[in-house]
Amino acid sequence: MRKIPTAILGAGGWIGQHFARLLADHPWFEPPLLVGGERTQGRTLEEIWQIPEEGPPGPIARDRLTTASPAALERAGIRVAFSALPGDKASLLETELARRGIAVFSNASAHRMDPRVPLLIPEVNPRHLGLLHPRPGRGFIVTNTNCSAAGLLLALKPLRDRFPVERVYVTTYQALSGAGFPGVPSLAIGDNVVPYIPEEETKMEEETRKVLGSLRGNGIRPLALRVIANCARVATREGHLEAVTLPGKYPEEGDILRAWKDFHPLQEGKEPALPTAPLDPVLVHPAPDRPQPLPDRWAGVPHRARGMAVTVGRLRVDPDGIRFYLLVHNAVRGGAGGSVLNAELAVREGLLGEVV
């Protein structure tokens, strides 16, 4: 198969750099054209690089961020645009790209609740891509969820497949990078916790219901699930920790652990079915003080899927319900990696007219 030409919009931002890391040597996608905003245009990727665990990816480290309109991207033959744009810019730009025949995989919230747009997590609701059929080769928008909702949904899905989950209480401890670069002022967050992230709680509640909803004709019927979220910003760098309570009658601990451990919707034999899919999307950590952001945020194998697994732990079962913690890498599974996985599923489903 010929590799598919791609671009990253907002390549200089936090999510944009994670996209660059994942796409520089992707087996199905060409190394991306890097489209930046006012601050980063004209600079090389290595000049603006911010991810401390890894250097800028070799094949594109010296590429300069450029400016490009949707018309210019269409003329350049770009087939897939990965969007790391701020929400206010994403709304019109992504619509225009899709109108020009480009497949847009977006992190922005602008189109998430649009009834015609799949809000996708391949392990959870792959059938929602059906909203786009039949249109191989045409433009469209697929979004991923809010970063905290992504972790919650991966932990919930195997439980909901086996047990009647009726109500979800979730409290988040969200990392600084969730606010992008440069993010929260250091004097506001150092020695502090901020119990307010604009619109975050509503996004978690609405998006969870849409993702778990059912495909009906041309739309998604949201699941009638009560989700009650409290979201706080804490002074960690990457990785959102979430405390989850599911009230109700649940079976014993072993059955719940088995539901998570047996959850492998994207495995073919012993291999991941898509290049960026983790072998185990939900990992159970047995230690009493895990998961934690620092040691657990890069969870996931194979190497290309690091940061794509959600770690759960501290499961407690009692007669009134269950409680557990989860940890999700906000910028990988909850951000760029989630979008890349969405694009891989779309390619595999023939939505780009290519056969893999």
Residue 84 interacts with ligand NAP (CB under 6 A)?
Answer: yes
Catalytic: which of 18, 26, 128, 147? 147
User: Which tokens go with 43?
Assistant: 């600079």
Q: How far is the CB of 84 from ligand NAP (least distance, A)?
A: 4
To the query of whether residue 329 is one of the catalytic residues in this protein, the response is no
Catalytic: which of 111, 240, 264, 285? 240
Residue 335 interacts with ligand NAP (CB under 6 A)?
Answer: yes
7, 33, 60, 85: residue in contact with ligand NAP (rule CB under 6 A): 85
2, 38, 134, 288: residue in contact with ligand NAP (rule CB under 6 A): 38
32, 78, 107, 344: residue in contact with ligand NAP (rule CB under 6 A): 107
The contact mask relative to ligand NAP for 178-217 (x = CB under 6 A, - = no) is x-xx------------------------------------
3-state SS, one letter per residue, for the chain: CCCECEEEECCCCHHHHHHHHHHCCCCCECCCEEECCCCCCCCEHHHHCCCCCCCCCHHHCCCECECCCHHHHHHCCCCEEEECCCHHHHHHHHHHHHHCCCEEEECCCCCCCCCCCCECCCCCCHHHHHHHCCCCCCCEEEECCCHHHHHHHHHHHHHHHHCCCCEEEEEEEECHHHHCCCCCCHHHHCCCCECCCCCHHHHHHHHHHHHCCEEECCEEECCCCEEEEEEEECCCCCCEEEEEEEECCCCCHHHHHHHHHCCCCCEECCEECCCCCCCCCEEECCCCCCCCHHHHCCCCCCHHHCCCCEEEEEEEEECCEEEEEEEECCCHHHHHHHHHHHHHHHHHCCCCCCCC
Among the listed ranges 11-19, 126-134, 243-251, 304-312, the one in contact with ligand NAP (CB under 6 A) is: 11-19
Residue 10 interacts with ligand NAP (CB under 6 A)?
Answer: yes
To the query of whether residue 147 is one of the catalytic residues in this protein, the response is yes
User: Residues in contact with ligand NAP, total (CB under 6 A)?
Assistant: 31
Among the listed ranges 52-60, 172-180, 262-270, 298-306, the one in contact with ligand NAP (CB under 6 A) is: 172-180
5, 64, 89, 301: residue in contact with ligand NAP (rule CB under 6 A): 89
Burial 318-346 (b: 16+ CB within 10 A, else e): eeebbbbbbbbbbbbbbbbbbbbbbbbbb
Q: Which is nearer to ligand NAP, 31 or 350 (CB)?
A: 31
Q: Which is nearer to ligand NAP, 83 or 322 (CB)?
A: 83
Residue 139 interacts with ligand NAP (CB under 6 A)?
Answer: no
Q: How far is the CB of 132 from ligand NAP (least distance, A)?
A: 21
Q: How far is the CB of 330 from ligand NAP (least distance, A)?
A: 4
- Max CA pair span of the chain: 61
Residue 49 interacts with ligand NAP (CB under 6 A)?
Answer: no
Q: Which is nearer to ligand NAP, 87 or 126 (CB)?
A: 87
Q: Which positions lie near ligand NAP, rule CB under 6 A?
A: 9-10, 12-16, 35-40, 84-87, 89-90, 107-109, 147, 177-178, 180-181, 330-331, 334-335
Residues taking part in catalysis: 147, 240
